[in-house]
Structure 1
Amino acid sequence: MVNYREILRLDSLGYSQHQIAASVHSSRNTIREVLHASKTKGLIWPLEATLTNEEILTLLFPAKVEMATKRKESDYSYIHRELARPGVNLTLLWTEYCSTCNAEGVMPYMYSQFCDKYRHWAHVTKATMRIRHKPVETMQVDWAGTTLQYQDPITGELSDVYLFAAVLPCSCYAYVEACDDMKSTNWLTCHLHPYQYFGGVTRLLLPDNLKTGVVKNTRYDTILNKSYQEMAEYYETAIVLARVLHPKDKSLAEGTVKFATTWIIAALRNRKFFSFEEVRLAVAEKPEELNHYSFKKREGCRYSAFTDEEKEFMKPLPLSPYEPAVWSTAKVPLDYLISDGKNKYSVPFDLIGEEVDIRLTKATVEVFYHSSRVASHPRMAKQLRDPITQPEHMPVEHRKYLAYNADEFIRWAESVGEYTSRVVHYFLSAGREPEQGYKSCASLTKLGDRYGHERLEAACERVLQYSSQPAIRNISTILKNGQDKVNDGKRPVPASKSHGITRGAAYFQRGGEQA
């Protein structure tokens, strides 16, 4: 905008129009118009201190101001978005803007004004606010975009190493760690280590919107990964996500990542590493150098700022560190086994077809249904051939099947009686291998459940009276026909408690006549 106050001030000091134009960077025609209008309107220097250039413009050129108010303002946010598209420039957008103005019957800005107004809008929207961070308020975390590499000494294969950075914004005290991947387990572990390094916990935790930590982050909903949320609850800290595509929300973490890229990755570019452990140790030395490096614009260093301003205010750590856990969901299949990716573990069979939550730690496998734990197993590090099951998770039939062995059948038969034991010993020894008699033994147990142990014992005794090679078919027939209840003179018949025919055989021999 034209500096009207300066023009009038210089004119009052006797400067020529040429000199004034050079001083205020305006054309001589503009200087001439301003001086002529000021004489016409009687506006002379000195002016009131509160009178602005906009107000002087309104006083000197009211027609121009009125004309400017009739011009159509552009949608500068739309212009900014369109300029990001390939081949689009301000000239094309101004042409489209003029076409719109002509269609609406309003006056457009000229090209120079159009560009000036857009550039002013762009500068204003880039305004930033310097925030004063409170001690132990927040810990900002992020991954570095650039990686280090190490070479396998045998195969020559190159592997990437990723850098995790955490920083306390108040003191800028930083922590950097090397990781072999950016998966959920390392992401959680990399939060535990800076807490231990700092010696305490902050009130808030500010991460990016990465998939290992955040399931969903929209204007209306924020859903965190269950493992990440569990870790935050364990340390009694709250997770506040940075806005999507707003890296300045965690500017200190971005600065620490930039440091890691320059002073760690770039500084180690000429070193050859042959194991992940070598890279990890080399990276671990660098944060100490950064934290003890003197500030340029204030006294001390990051370490001294941390010890003086933040250390004593850190929230205390729990007695034991959090054990990283990975959560997942699964539908229980027909074999009621869930997997940790390496081995299979049992869950209660009545959950078949239901969705369950699986919590995996280094030592345990836990299964939850509607937030209640329904199964827990020690997690096996090595891959096993058979699944890990608990008897109480199985149906009764499956438990019985697993109990099919010679010792179990003999133990059961001895609990029934002597003759049943003799029959079971025969079944197990009749074939080449004991397993050939398991089917007959299992059928015998079912007969015991159906008819009772007393009748089964009597039936086994009766079948052994007639054969030294008892068969399950014969025992079943005896029980079905009730032959185990018939007295053959060898066993006493228990007194009958029934009240059947009481008239005796003599009554029926006389043809039913009464005596």
Structure 2
Amino acid sequence: MVSINKIRTAIRIKFALPDASGRTQSKIVGIPHNTMIRLSARLDRAAITHEIAEELTDSELMVKLYPSIVHNNRSKRAPNIEHIMTELTKPRGKGTTKAVLYLEYVAEDPKTAMSRSHFYRNINKVLKRSKLVMKQLHAAGEAVFIDYAGYQVFYRKSNKKVWVKVFVAVLGASKKVFAWATYGEKTVHWIDGMTRMFEDFGGVPEVVAMDNAKALVTKPGLIPIFTKNVESLEEHYGCFMDTSRPRSPQDKSHAELGVKFVTQRILVPMMRNHTFFSLEEINDYLTKEIAVLNNTPFQGLPISRNDLFEKNEKTVLNPLPTTPYQMVVDWLRQKVLPNYCNPPIESE
């Protein structure tokens, strides 16, 4: 359908240049030739002149030109967006596809139901506007994406600034966010962030997706080689550690977007408006603000990250191990005898 501004321009050109051909008029208006002919015919059938069009509002003019289309669009029943988003983010194999959701929607009342294309168009608009998904939907409990924010924060100690880094994690399905400040990005800090992340979520996702940080990865590639502590963490929590391709941040786009949200909505305002005197104060503030962010509804939706997490993702996460993970700080290499027996222990 032609925009209302193009329609008003076409009406002015039609009556200002009545002797001009349809092709000439369409070129001036900036619409296809056939569209100009059909619009001119609608104006003649509705007996709308330039003077009448000027007195009508945009809505009134559209009703006169396209009465059947406007009436049909207004009489169509809007789908239940909250229910649809909940179904699309359920665990793999337990959710419902868009096609089935549309059939259920039509079955409620076929007379007031949208067409399939109109239904899909409305759903896709909501998905795009709410930033709920990017290129694909992740099943509940499938993956968590982790990264460190590039924006650093600090606290004051003896009139000096002590700079710290912020660890950020985002669940793939519900988009629930976790953030924690550490003194750096060494292996001990990454593992501290991940263990606290698992405790905050109350479970362990199947995959932990990360970049190729030197503190985590010894050798990147299709089958990366992790550091000893990361391998031990993977075994302890029973999850799978996965890395993105080198120089391909889009592979962990959820983490990149989560870092953007945390930086813009929390880190920048907190450093502008607050002064901190310890790392504990920073983490207390982060915990409160992250809770607010997770409870804030998505744009255009009456549902939040925590709502999706509680409905779909919390119950499908793998359980936490009974004992906490302990960092490996020392490795002992011991040669084995040729007969594959341990050397005898000398008694005192």
Q: TM-score scaled to structure 2, two decimals? A: 0.58
The answer on whether the counterparts of 1:166 and 1:175 sit within 8 Å (CA) in structure 2 is yes
Secondary structure class of the residue paired with 1:367: coil
Where does residue 368 of structure 1 map in the other structure? Answer: 333
Match of 1:278 among 267, 277, 281: 281
Change (3 A) 1:15 1:158: same
Tell me by how many angstroms 1:191 deviates. 0.6
Aligned mates of 1:315, 1:371 — CA distance in 2 = 38
User: Alignment partner for residue 148 of structure 2, among 116, 128, 143?
Assistant: 143
Q: Tell me the equivalent position of 1:244.
A: 246
Deviates more, 1:275-284 or 1:134-143: 275-284
Q: State the alpha-carbon separation in 2 of the partners of residues 241 and 221 from structure 1.
A: 9
Structure 1 residue runs without a partner (length 5+): 1-13, 27-127, 326-359, 373-391, 400-515
Give the corresponding residue for 2:237: 235
Q: Which residue is equivalent to 1:101?
A: none
1:184 positional shift: 0.9
Q: Is 1:298 matched with 2:263?
A: no
Q: Which residue of 2 aligns with 1:256?
A: 258
* Compared CA separation, residues 320 and 221, structure 1 to 2 (3 A): closer
Deviations 1:179-228 (A, max 9, x none): 1111111111111111111111111110011111111213x552212211
Q: Distance in 1 between matches of 2:212 and 2:149?
A: 14
Compare 204-213 and 258-267 and name the one that shifted more.
258-267
Gap change, CA 1:202 and 1:370, over 3 Å in 2: farther
The superposition leaves residues 60-101 of structure 1 with CA deviations (integer Å, 9 ceiling, x where unpaired) of xxxxxxxxxxxxxxxxxxxxxxxxxxxxxxxxxxxxxxxxxx
In 1: Cα distance, 2:21 partner to 2:134 partner:
41
CA deviation map 1:480-504 (0-9, x unaligned): xxxxxxxxxxxxxxxxxxxxxxxxx
Q: Which runs of 5+ in 2 are unaligned?
A: 1-19, 33-132, 338-344
RMSD (Å), alpha carbons: 2.8
2:135 and 2:235 map into 1 onto residues whose CA distance is 30
SS of 2:255's equivalent in the other structure is helix
> Which of these residues, 169, 185, 201, is aligned with residue 204 of structure 2?
201
Contact kept, 8 Å, 1:291 with 1:301, in 2: the verdict is yes
> Could you say if the C-alpha distance between residues 142 and 20 of structure 1 is closer, same or farther in structure 2, counting changes exceeding 3 Å?
same
Change (3 A) 1:21 1:371: farther
- 1:130-160 Cα offsets, whole Å, 9 max, x none, are 20110000011000000111111x3x22111
Which structure 2 residues correspond to residues 23-422 of structure 1 after superposition, within 5 A?
Answer: 130-152=135-157, 154=158, 156-218=159-221, 221-268=223-270, 269-325=272-328, 360=329, 365-369=330-334
Q: Secondary structure at the match of 1:177?
A: strand
Residues 221 and 295 of structure 1: is their aligned pair in 2 closer, same or farther, counting only changes over 3 Å? closer
SS of structure 2 residue aligned to 1:267: helix
Partner of 2:43: none
State the AA in 1 paired with 2:239.
Answer: T
Contact 1:189 1:324 in 2 (8 A): no
- Mark the CA change 1:293 to 1:131 in structure 2 (over 3 Å): closer, same or farther: same
Q: How many residues align?
A: 222
Match of 2:87 in 1: none
Structure 1 residues 133 and 221, CA, compared in 2 at 3 Å: closer, same or farther? closer
Give the structure 2 partner of residue 404 of structure 1. Answer: none
Deviation of the 1:297 alpha carbon:
2.8
SS of the residue corresponding to residue 162 of structure 2 reads strand
Percent of residue pairs bearing the same amino acid type:
28
CA positional deviation for 1:24: 5.6
Q: CA deviation at 1:292?
A: 0.9
Q: Which whole-Å CA distance do the structure 2 matches of 1:261 and 1:186 have between them?
A: 19
Three-state SS of the structure 2 residue aligned to 1:191 is helix
The answer on whether the counterparts of 1:188 and 1:228 sit within 8 Å (CA) in structure 2 is yes
Task: For 2:297 and 2:274, locate their aligned partners in 1 and report how far apart those are by CA, in whole Å.
Answer: 26
For the pair 1:18 / 2:20, whether they are aligned, the reply is: no
- The structure showing larger relative contact order (alpha-carbon pairs under 8 Å, at least 6 residues apart) is 2
**1:481 paired residue number:** none
Call closer, same or farther: CA 1:313–1:129 in 2, change over 3 Å. closer
- Secondary structure of 1:206's counterpart equals strand
* TM-score, normalisation: structure 1: 0.40
Q: 1:371 to 1:266 in 2, by over 3 A?
A: farther
Larger Rg computed on CA atoms: 1
> For the residues of structure 2 that align with 1:368 and 1:161, how far apart are their CA atoms?
35
* Alpha-carbon separation, structure 1, partners of 2:174 and 2:189: 26
Question: Which residue identity is paired with 1:196?
Answer: E
Q: Pick which of 141-150 and 295-304 moved more.
A: 295-304
* Counterpart code for 1:235: Y
User: Partner amino acid for 1:261?
Assistant: T
Amino acid at match of 2:25: Q
* 1:159 partner letter: V
